[in-house]
Amino acid sequence: MLKKLRMYLPFVNAGLQEASTYRANWLFYILGDVIGCFVSFFVWEAVFISNGGESFMEFDKGDMIVYIFLTFLTGQIIGSGGTYDIGQEIKDGTIAMRMIKPISYNSTFLFQELGNKLMEIGIIFIPLVAGVEIYRFFLTGSLQFDIAQFLLYLVCCVFAYLINFFFNISFGFTAFVFKNLWGSNLLKNCIVGFLSGSTIPLAFFPEVFRNVLSVLPFASLSYTPVMIYMGMYTGWDIVFYLGLQIFWCIAFWGMSKLIWKAVVKHLCVQGG
C-alpha cells in the first residue's frame, strides 16, 4: 500500500508546483468566488430586511450569513476540476502521456488535485474558519465552536470531495466521445450548485422537494457538511447523512470505472 502511495507522490508535488507557479491565476479564481460570495450575502441580507428581519425556515439572518461563508469555504475544499482537465488534455493531446504510464489514470488526477488543495486550503482555511467563529461569537455573545462538529465537518468534506471528484471525472470521460465539454461543463456546474444547496439552502424548498434533494448526491457536496458544522444535523441525522455520503462515494467510484472502460476505445485527440 505504501509503495503504491509513493508512486503518486510526484503527482502531489506536481499539483503543488502548478499552484505555486500559477499563483496569479489561482488568486483571480478565488477572487471571483469571493465576489460571488459577497453578492449572495447582499442578496440574502435584502431578503431578510424585506421580511422584517424575522427567521425564515429555521434560518435567521445570522444563520444565513454563516451558511453563505461556510458554503463558500466548503466549495473551495471540495472543488474539483477533473472535467475541465480531462477535456483540455484530450484537446491538446497530452492525455497520451498520462495513459502510457503503468498507473491508474484516475489516481493521477486525484493526487495532482490534492497537491493543489494543500496550497489552497493552507491559505484560506484557517482565516475563513476564524472569521466565521468570530462572527458567531459577536452574534451570540458566547463561543459557538464545537470541536466534535468541526471534526465531523472535516470528515464530511473528505467524502464530499471524493464524491465530487469521481462525479467530475465521470462527466469528463464523456469528452472521449463528444470532444468538447466547455458549454456542458458550465451547465453542469450551475445545476450542481443549485441542487447542492450552494445557491439556495435546501431547507427553503417545499418539503417534498427537500426530502428528495437531501438524499441525492449533490446535497452531500455542500449542504450536509455545512448543516453539520452549524449544528443543524445532530445524532442519527449525522449517521444517516454520513452513510449516504459513503454510499454515493462508492457509487460514483464504480461509475467512473465503468464509464472509463466504455469510452476509452473512443479516444481521438485533437492536438499533440
| 4 within some domain | no
Residue 17: its pLDDT value, please?
Answer: 77
Q: Examine residue 124 and state whether it is found in any structural domain, yes or no.
A: yes
Are 42 and 35 a contacting pair, CB within 8 Å? Answer: no
Q: Is 2 domain-assigned?
A: no
pLDDT, position 13: 80
pLDDT score, position 223: 94
The pLDDT, as a whole number, for residue 107 is 81
pLDDT value of position 150? 94
Contacts 24+ apart (CB under 8 A), 184-193: 185/83, 185/84, 185/87, 188/83, 192/218, 192/221
Grid-cell match 469510452, residue found:
263
Count of the separate structural domains present in the chain? 1
Domain assignment of residue 255, yes or no: yes
pLDDT in tens, the chain (272 residues): 566 677 777 777 877 777 777 677 777 877 888 888 888 888 888 888 887 766 777 788 888 889 999 999 999 889 887 777 777 777 766 776 777 767 777 788 788 888 878 877 778 888 888 988 998 888 888 888 889 999 999 999 999 999 999 998 888 887 777 767 777 778 888 899 999 998 889 988 888 999 999 999 999 999 999 999 999 898 899 999 999 999 999 999 999 889 888 877 766 655 54
Range of the domain at 246: 10-266
Closest by CA to 114, choosing from 29, 8, 250, 245, is 8
In a domain, 1, yes or no: no
pLDDT of residue 160: 96
Query: What are the φ and ψ backbone dihedral angles of 230, each rounded to 5 degrees?
Result: -80, -5
